[in-house]
Structure 1
Amino acid sequence: MFKKIMSLYENSILYSERPLNVSEQYYIFFNQSEKQWLAIPKSNLTEKELNLLQILYEQVNIPSKHSGKWYEFLLVNGPLPTTSTESNYRIIQFHIKGHVEQDEIESALNGFFSDEVQYIWEDSQNGCVIEEKKQMSLSESELASISDTVESDLYVKISFYIGKLFPLSNQLPNQFRQEKEYFQFAKNHLSGSNIFTFEKVFLPLVAANLPGHIKEKLNKDFLEVFLEDPELYVTIKVFLENNLNASMTAKKLYVHRNTLQYRLDKFIDKTGVQLKDFYGAFTVFLAILLFEYDNLHK
């Protein structure tokens, strides 16, 4: 069948083995029964013809030559992808919840990232953007805006993990795998955010892996207070997340500052912990993270 389809489209290419790299100007389809791959120039297909081929055959994405080298380096123990080892790189992982074509995601991200970044896809829902230091431009808040834009335009949710800046070396694949574990933990255990960094993941990860006797101590000191007064729990959580800023906290909770102060004083009376003290605030925040983690796994 592919041979007949091939005759309809000029410059199409038929493969008996999965091609290693193909120009981005081609759509590639796989015929499961015949074990063949057909590359058709994108300019030759109308939208209706593309939709029909996507129904009949599996559309596949073959990485470009350069991104293919990065794929092999990071995921299958391949050699360094470039001879220039003086640059530092940041890897931004992303996870898509919902169904969307990979080229649509890349097209959306291209509006924000430098043209020189590389995309790697592990599967239809997980991939990453590789930025050289000189290409880095997006902040955490800008990535949050990208997430909102993708959701409104493509009707899928996308979350990001912003990796650290690392030199290009044979250690980079191990560092990448470690960051993948952090991102996986965030996706499984953290809610309320779709942008993650090591700093955001670290404390919840610590709370989840505390020794049993430490968990027991924190639960003994704070669990009853949290369960007895959920409103008080939310107030303290928002207060700590907003850097102990009373005005910002009152605004977020839609309460008067006097009401906020009353709740803070109530918590201090019940626990004896001073929230304005760094060590007290840190201890309470760790207890909150443990409380959330335990509730998620009940």
Structure 2
Amino acid sequence: MRLYELFDLPVFKGAALIAGKQGIEREVNTVNMMDAPDIIHFLKKNELLVTTAFHFKDDLDSLLQLIKEMEKQGCSGLGIKTKRFLKEIPEAAISLANELKFPLLELPVHTSLGDIVNKSLSYILDIRTNELHHAMQTHQQFTKHIMSGQGIYKILESLSTLIHLPVILLNHHLRPAVKHSQHTSIFENFEALMASGHYFHLPKTTMSSFSLLNETRETITLFPVYTHKQYSYLAVLGFIPLSDRSTILTIKQATNVIAFELMKENALKQNTRRIQNEFFNNFINGAYSTNEEVISRGKEFRLLNEQRYVCAVGKIEDKEKNISFMQYQSEQELIYDTIESELERFHQKVHFFTIDHSYILLMELKGGWKNISQSFITLLKNIQTKILKHFQEELSFGISNYAEQLIHVPVSYKEATDALYYGNMSGKKRFIEIYQPKEVPEILRMVPYDQLKKFYTDTFQAFANEPKKDHQVLLHTLSVYLETHCQLSETAKRLYVHRNTVIYRLGKCEEIIGRSLKDPDETLRLRLAFRIKALIQGNNQLG
């Protein structure tokens, strides 16, 4: 309570504030009565001292020293009972108190110091009891919202009603953590604050207030909410003084309940992440026996097979860090949250996984890759900048070519990891490397599967559509013949057969496929068809 509120008590009738009137709004937590010479060693902050000044009646310097020390310790004020040992308070003491803006009270002789202490403490205790009772009721109300499944949004709504100020919950990036809040627009200027990195210097144990740099200069009061090794903030649009204990207690009850709810949500989120990461790890490592199983499991995580994807794999540069395992885990979670926060703002849907300290971003491709490539690279650069600025870590990315379907994503993942590897081998730091196809099979994978299969069947005809017992031998002969650059003698040598046998088999091949092996364009087509055949068989084995 404030010092001026204490003066309204009947026990202070006849008392006068004779100096330090500017300190009339000082907080008073307790009232004490002491006449010992070493009083100052027993006083606390926000404590009002009442005394007869027996030890100061002939020692003005000690009285002045007491006033200085009480001001230094943040005491509430000093009340001196006059007309007993001191006829009046010395002018030097009044002058010093005014200079220090330290409240100096003159207490009448007929008033008992014991009564002042007892009745003041009783009044303060009644106020504290009422505050505690109100806090308990508020806590029960907020807990009821959570238990009934109404969630954090309802707590914020109730809190705003109770304190008559707009309230919003901000995550550790100072972005609204609860969607659909009616006050979200008020905090748009936090983007600039977040970009400057100031939020990392906000107090994490006490409330803090500051003004936004906008036209209206709104004052924001932040209350830290500690959850799972990181801080969120309950933001109130308005200034709340430390002396407003009732409002502060109400808000703190809300932060306590919200903290438990956020920890529960975080535990569920961690479990969901683990399940997602296990699926993706099994997927790219071929743990699923059929394509149908991959497609079915993918739907559980909103991954559709008839959807094109681009894969980016990121990894932080390895370096020695003298931190504990728990600190490392905590930092990894914060990095994950930072990346996830950036992805939520991106205009394309990006699925996020982690495997072996790598960060995998699987972007759904809408339209052509050329149209989206630059914006995706800009996203990755923003992520790199945030990780470097806030964690002093260098994050690099490798980007794949796009996969035509979900079942082709393991190939894209390998392309992205290869690009990351090549970037590291070239000595680059904090880079973004795009995979460049270097082999025919890698180029063929970029062609839709249905078109590849049609090219294969059109080229091989009956070899593909109606395979017979001797077809395998004929195809093998044709394959070796093409590999030896159409050299009959070399083909016969590799197959351990007579040259005439090779000529006979190649003639049979020409009859079946209806193409001349003497035409260079046809032999090129057949070479491609054999490469496509290997891809199709690989897919069939996966299926």
Q: TM-score, normalised by structure 2?
A: 0.24
- Decide which structure has the larger Cα Rg and report it: 2
Higher relative CO (Cα under 8 Å, sequence separation at least 6) belongs to 1
Q: TM-score, normalised by structure 1?
A: 0.41
